[in-house]
Amino acid sequence: MRAFLFRPLAIILSVLSAGCAGTYRPVDYDMPSIPSDSPYAVISGVQVTAKDGVSNQEMNDFDVALRRALEHRGIRVDLFSDAPLLNVQLHRLHAESPAWYAAKYALGISIPGSSSNAITVQMETWRHGRLLKRFDEFDDYREKTPSWDAMKTSVSNRIADALFYAR
């Protein structure tokens, strides 16, 4: 009788804890200082916009994560400089609820087309109202992760790295 009661309890606990399994954990590391001759050592601002399916709260969260990633790489934001302005546009492709992800993971269901959260990014720099550079490597870039926190961290780190290593 105990085994009969224990089995459903074990299944319920595994479903509830499955949402935590396999989550993305960013690794903290020390960046070298950005070269002074880098075209993006200083930027005049960060502008985050959205087209499809990204809420204002998610845009604000992404803006904070992006500024943190830029600061970590030594890229300064100086509003009164003649430096380029960074414009990042987010497009939400799919948003999956954490409960659905946990249930699907626990049951081992694989449904094509609804694997996780997915987003695409367009990144450009502007100066004096003119397009300075469009980062083409982000045209085909899509990020998929189970949680929005992991996604915003990963995407903001990738954008900051693109500015850090730009020539």
Q: Which CATH class is domain 41-165?
A: alpha beta
Instruction: Answer yes or no: pTM beyond 0.75.
Output: no
- Going by the DSSP 8-state scheme, the letter that residue 1 receives in this structure is -
Convert the pLDDT of each residue in 102-156 to its tens digit: 776 677 665 554 455 678 889 999 999 999 999 998 877 777 777 778 888 889 9
Closest CA to 69 of 28, 39, 36: 28
Summarised one tens digit per residue, pLDDT across range 46-60 is 999 987 777 888 889
Select the more confidently predicted residue: 107 or 37.
Answer: 37
pLDDT at res. 21: 45
What does the domain layout of the chain look like in residue ranges? 41-165
